[in-house]
């Protein structure tokens, strides 16, 4: 296979009505990244790059090759995890593009410390670049600084790790917050987007159905956790709960499932449905009086 053929296997044109969108797949497949991180090149002549991915030279060269002689105006990021934003700095050095996104909060983990934005957009702020308008939609949950980016003219929402194709994201406290994640899901559900362009996986055509499916999945998992505690009648650790609640997940993924489990438990405490024994690292159902 030639280099050109290999490159074309990583580049996909997203069907749109007016605004050109190209999906460029980063060669970083893995347990947490699926087929790899999606980078999106948006517009024509004066363009936008969304989620440059990790700083992988082959991926960067593919991006610059697809850009050609066009001007890269801005690099937008959905969030600053290591598979989404570290490539921004080298792209900026090569193109002089502006960097747009939110800095991580102070209690964040596994964040890209090289990303320093020229602009931290306000919630619902619309950026106009050439003939493209793209809107920042704050969607905390996966992490506190997560933004989805919306192309109103196309009904297309770039979801980063907020919604993925074929799986659901890890919610890792303290920066990951299940209550905020659910609120953000309902927020984008009210937007009535047509399609979703995720950070990992293929374009999702049924936006409403997919969003509702993720909401239903998370609510069902929460009830399964609560029911496990209620049936036990005893206080349980996260590890014991994971073995009982995540039997549908490969044991190799249980350490990651435990992180999202913790986010659910924190939400259940906030909802006053369960209590946390911090000394013993156990959780139990709050029994109703009488």
Average pLDDT over residues 235-260: 93
CATH code at position 265: 1.10.10.10
Query: Mean pLDDT over all residues of the chain?
Result: 94
Cis peptide bond upstream of 217, omega within 30: no
Do 151 and 125 have their domain in common?
yes
221 plus 200 within the same structural domain: no
- The reply to whether 149 falls in a domain is yes
Residue 287 clears pLDDT 80, i.e. is over it:
no
Same domain? 174 vs 259: no
In a domain, 212, yes or no: no
Split at pLDDT 50, 70, 90, the class of 47 is: very high
Q: How far apart are CA 237 and CA 225, in angstroms?
A: 12
- Per-residue pLDDT band at 3 (split at 50, 70, 90): very low
Tell me the average pLDDT across 87-103: 98
In a domain, 290, yes or no: no
Residues 196 and 235 in one domain: no
pLDDT at 278 over 70: yes
CA torsion angle 160 162 167 173 (round to 10) = 120
140, 257: one domain? no
Q: Has residue 6 got a pLDDT over 90? A: no
Domain that holds residue 193: 3-205
For 52-73, what is each residue's pLDDT tens digit?
A: 999 999 999 999 999 999 999 9
Let me know whether 141 and 221 are in one domain. Answer: no
How many structural domains are present in the chain? 2
Do the domain assignments include residue 211? no
Instruction: Measure the CA–CA gap between 61 and 91, rounded to whole angstroms.
Output: 9
Mode of pairing for the β-strands spanning 195-198 and 156-160? parallel
The answer to whether residue 27 is domain-embedded is yes
Q: Specify the pLDDT at position 290.
A: 39
Tell me what the mean pLDDT of segment 171-191 comes to.
97
Q: Residue 226 corresponds to which tokens in the numbers above?
A: 């609560």
């Amino acid at each position: 296979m030639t280099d050109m053929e290999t490159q074309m296997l990583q580049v996909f044109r997203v069907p749109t009505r007016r605004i050109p969108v190209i999906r460029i797949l980063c060669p970083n497949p893995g347990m947490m990244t699926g087929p790899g991180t999606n980078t999106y090149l948006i517009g024509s002549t004066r363009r936008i790059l969304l989620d440059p991915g990790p700083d992988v030279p082959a991926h960067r060269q593919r991006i610059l090759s697809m850009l050609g002689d066009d001007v890269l105006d801005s690099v937008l990021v959905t969030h600053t995890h290591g598979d989404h934003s570290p490539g921004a700095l080298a792209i900026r050095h090569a193109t002089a593009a502006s960097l747009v996104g939110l800095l991580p909060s102070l209690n964040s983990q596994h964040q890209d410390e090289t990303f320093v934005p020229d602009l931290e957009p306000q919630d619902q702020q619309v950026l106009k670049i050439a003939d493209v308008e793209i809107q920042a939609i704050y969607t905390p949950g996966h992490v506190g600084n997560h933004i989805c980016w919306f192309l109103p003219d196309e009904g297309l929402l770039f979801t980063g790790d907020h919604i993925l194709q074929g799986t659901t994201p890890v919610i890792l406290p303290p920066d990951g917050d299940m209550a905020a994640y659910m609120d953000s899901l309902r927020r984008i559900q009210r937007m009535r987007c047509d399609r979703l362009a995720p950070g990992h996986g293929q374009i999702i055509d049924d936006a409403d159905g997919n969003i509702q499916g993720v909401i239903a999945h998370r609510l069902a998992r929460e009830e399964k956790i609560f029911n496990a505690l209620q049936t036990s009648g005893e206080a349980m650790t996260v590890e014991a709960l994971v073995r009982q609640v995540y039997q549908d997940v490969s044991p190799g993924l249980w350490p990651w499932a435990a992180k999202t489990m913790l986010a659910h438990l924190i939400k259940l405490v906030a909802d006053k449905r369960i209590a946390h024994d911090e000394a013993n690292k156990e959780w139990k159902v709050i029994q109703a009086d009488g």
